[in-house]
């Protein structure tokens, strides 16, 4: 394929992504400035009356980008060549899995064990680009230690950018990995809403049930959609909400550009998968 044809293909993809993002912005409200979230009220007093516990929030605004990553599994070949273990690839999931030939023994002290697991994944002979992953205590459970990929733009809270390290009998026995490569902005940097505005949106749109609490709240990048072979990621406020009666946890997402609720809250990208 000649170079000019490649240039045209990239141009068409870029235009397609920007048309999609333009429609997305047109269909949603304009960016919510500080203090302008829907039905702005004294959120503390209203949530307290409904027995909803919220974390400390503020009016500080940050910023972010619409990001795009071409769906590409070339990283799996690099990982197979780099990692000093037998690597199994899954093309449809764009993932790899590794079963350690010799399990790595860990300390019985949980804090020391976590440090040893982090030391393991930071070794390039053990995990491809392991230093790009940060520990996700919120989703780690039992023998499954979960890590999210962190880029220069921020943390990617998605199954497409996740590392699971499995421990059994105080030994690292295996891991599975997915990695987002070539992540780039497709629009200019924009302001995002504050944590207070995000909570207000959740409350206004009835996403906070009575007698519940927000366990944690943070701004990350989540996957919005796949368009023309590229995955689109946007800044998102992710909230973990626990029901005080059933103790079940639900993840909710707020578009950090518009303040609107992203309805596919239990999508695989937000789960432990």
Chain-wide mean pLDDT for the chain?
A: 87
Residue 146 lies in a domain: yes
Per the DSSP assignment, residues forming a β-bridge with 87 are 98
Which range is least confidently modeled, 36-40, 210-214, 217-221? 36-40
Give 81-113 pLDDT, tens digit per residue.
999 999 999 999 999 999 999 999 999 999 999
| pLDDT at residue 2 tops 70 | no
Pairing, β 190-191 against β 212-227: unpaired
Asked if 93 and 162 sit in the same domain, the reply is: yes
**Whole-number Å distance between alpha carbons of 38 and 44:** 15
Asked if 197 and 62 sit in the same domain, the reply is: yes
User: What is residue 30's predicted lDDT score, i.e. its pLDDT?
Assistant: 39
CATH of the domain at 32: 2.40.128.690
DSSP3 helix / strand / coil % (the chain, rounded to 5): 25, 35, 40
| 22: Cβ contacts below 8 Å, ≥ 6 apart | none
CATH of the domain at 127: 3.30.310.160
Which letter, b or e, does each residue of 203-232 get, where b requires 16 or more Cβ atoms within 10 Å of its Cβ?
bbbebbeeebbbeebbbbbbbbeebbebbb
Task: Judge whether 262 and 269 are in contact, CB under 8 Å.
Answer: no
**Whole-number Å distance between alpha carbons of 234 and 186:** 11
Residue 169 lies in a domain: yes
Residues spanned by the domain of 36? 24-68+184-270
Give 44-87 pLDDT, tens digit per residue.
788 888 999 999 999 999 999 999 999 999 999 999 999 999 99
Q: What are the Cα distances from residue 200, in Å, to 38, 98, 178, 215?
A: 7, 43, 33, 16
Residue 5 lies in a domain: no
User: What is residue 33's predicted lDDT score, i.e. its pLDDT?
Assistant: 39
- Number of structural domains (the chain) is 2
Residue 145 lies in a domain: yes
Residue 4 lies in a domain: no
Domain boundary (127, 145, 180) is at: 180
Residue 42 lies in a domain: yes
Average pLDDT over residues 253-262: 96
Asked if 168 and 233 sit in the same domain, the reply is: no
Asked if 172 and 201 sit in the same domain, the reply is: no
Domain boundary (180, 208, 224) is at: 180
Asked if 95 and 142 sit in the same domain, the reply is: yes
| pLDDT at residue 266 tops 50 | no
Residue 11 lies in a domain: no
Asked if 174 and 188 sit in the same domain, the reply is: no
């Amino acid at each position: 394929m000649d170079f000019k044809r490649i240039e045209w293909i990239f141009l068409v993809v870029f235009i397609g992504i920007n048309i999609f993002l333009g429609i997305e912005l047109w269909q949603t409200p304009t960016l919510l400035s500080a203090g302008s979230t829907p039905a702005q009220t004294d959120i503390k007093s209203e949530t307290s009356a409904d027995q909803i516990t919220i974390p400390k929030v503020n009016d500080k605004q940050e910023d972010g980008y619409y990001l795009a990553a071409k769906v590409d599994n070339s990283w799996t070949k690099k990982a197979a060549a780099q990692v000093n273990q037998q690597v199994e690839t899954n093309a449809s999931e764009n993932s790899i899995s590794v079963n350690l030939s010799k399990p790595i023994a860990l300390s019985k002290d949980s804090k020391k064990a976590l440090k040893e697991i982090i030391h393991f994944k930071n070794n390039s002979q053990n995990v491809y680009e392991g230093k790009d992953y940060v520990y996700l205590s919120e989703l780690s459970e039992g023998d499954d230690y979960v890590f999210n990929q962190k880029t220069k733009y921020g943390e990617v809270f998605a199954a497409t950018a996740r590392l699971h390290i499995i421990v059994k009998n105080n030994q690292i026995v295996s891991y599975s990995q997915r990695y987002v490569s070539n992540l780039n902005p497709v629009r200019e940097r924009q302001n995002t809403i504050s944590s207070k505005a995000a909570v207000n949106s959740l409350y206004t749109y009835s996403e906070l049930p009575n007698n519940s609490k927000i366990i944690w709240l943070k701004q990350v990048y989540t996957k919005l959609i796949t368009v023309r072979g590229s995955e689109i990621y946007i800044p998102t406020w992710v909230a973990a909400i626990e029901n005080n009666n059933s103790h079940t946890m639900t993840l909710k997402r707020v578009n950090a550009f518009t303040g609107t609720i992203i309805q596919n809250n239990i999508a695989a990208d937000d789960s432990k998968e």
